[in-house]
């Protein structure tokens, strides 16, 4: 089941994109943040219609995770599906990304096998993906979708990511980011992220 992400970016639609923002941008008509958001959302809407892996081990695979990013953003960015080459203010040193993703996938297979706790594994997987920060952009949307695909592949309902919490978009985002920061401080306690993801 494909669910629309309630944390999709919106607002400041008329803000022009700067030179740094458009590196690798494919559609030539896009000049504003609003046009970019719309193009990305169309791309993601199409990606949600594509077949999903049928087993967790097929999701927990670095080739699949890159393919998923390309499915979601490949109409808009020529670097979609490729690990970022540069350091950013979130995420690990880019040279360590390929190994970190492989390690994360292997660990997540063990978490599922040993604990059978799909929700906890999907939340941990999400938190680790965004903290590694695989790509130049789209990491939040990709990692939320990756967690949902993992849940689907295990026969579990995808997360709702706060869609039922009756919060404004700003409050939703700040609760989401707060739950990630809490997880940064204590990666063994994902209670807040799990509560948010199931709200
Ligand atoms: N301190 C933080 N501030 C902002 N984002 C953070 C922070 N820590 C982790 N993140 C994660 O990084 C994501 C933003 O990264 P990026 O811009 O690459 O993703 P995105 O999909 O474009 O964003 P969004 O989730 O806002 O749609 C957030 O969604 C969140 O998952
Ligand atoms: Mg972004």
User: Which CATH number fits the domain that encloses residue 76?
Assistant: 1.10.3290.10
Q: Is residue 166 part of a domain?
A: no
- Whole-structure pTM value: 0.95
Q: Is residue 5 part of a domain?
A: no
Q: How many CA atoms lie within 13 A of 199 on its CB side?
A: 15
Among 177, 182, 196, residue to substitute to test ligand 1 (most atoms within 8 Å of Cβ)? 177
Ligand 1 neighbour 80 (Cβ under 6 A): no
**Closest among 137, 41, 8 to 80, alpha carbons compared:** 137
Q: Is residue 109 part of a domain?
A: yes
**Closest among 3, 1, 2 to 164, alpha carbons compared:** 3
Q: 196 CB contacts (<8 Å, ≥6 apart)? A: 161, 162, 165, 175, 176, 179
Residue in the structure block whose two tokens are 């869609």: 163
Q: Is residue 111 part of a domain?
A: yes
- Centroid of ligand 1 to alpha carbon of 140 (angstroms): 5
Written as tens digits, the pLDDT of the chain (199 aa) is 577 899 988 766 787 888 888 899 999 999 999 999 999 999 999 999 999 999 999 999 999 999 999 999 999 999 999 999 999 999 999 999 999 999 999 999 999 999 989 999 999 999 999 999 999 999 999 999 999 999 999 999 999 999 999 999 999 999 999 999 999 999 989 999 999 999 9
């Amino acid at each position: 089941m494909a669910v629309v992400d309630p944390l999709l970016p919106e607002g400041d639609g008329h803000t022009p994109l700067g030179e740094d923002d458009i590196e690798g941008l494919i559609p030539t008509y896009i000049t504003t943040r609003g046009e970019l958001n719309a193009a990305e959302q169309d791309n993601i809407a199409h990606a949600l219609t594509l077949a999903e892996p049928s087993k967790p081990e097929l999701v927990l695979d670095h080739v699949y995770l890159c393919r998923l990013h390309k499915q979601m953003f490949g109409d808009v960015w020529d670097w979609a599906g490729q690990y970022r080459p540069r350091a950013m203010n979130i995420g690990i040193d880019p040279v360590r990304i390929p190994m970190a993703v492989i390690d994360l996938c292997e660990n997540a297979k063990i978490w599922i096998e040993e604990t059978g706790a799909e929700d906890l594994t999907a939340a941990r997987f999400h938190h680790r993906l965004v903290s590694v920060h695989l790509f130049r952009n789209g990491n939040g949307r990709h990692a939320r979708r990756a967690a949902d695909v993992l849940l689907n592949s295990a026969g579990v309902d995808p997360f709702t990511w706060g869609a039922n919490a009756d919060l404004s978009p700003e409050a939703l985002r700040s609760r989401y980011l707060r739950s990630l920061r809490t997880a940064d401080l204590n990666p063994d306690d994902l209670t807040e992220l799990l509560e948010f993801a199931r709200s």
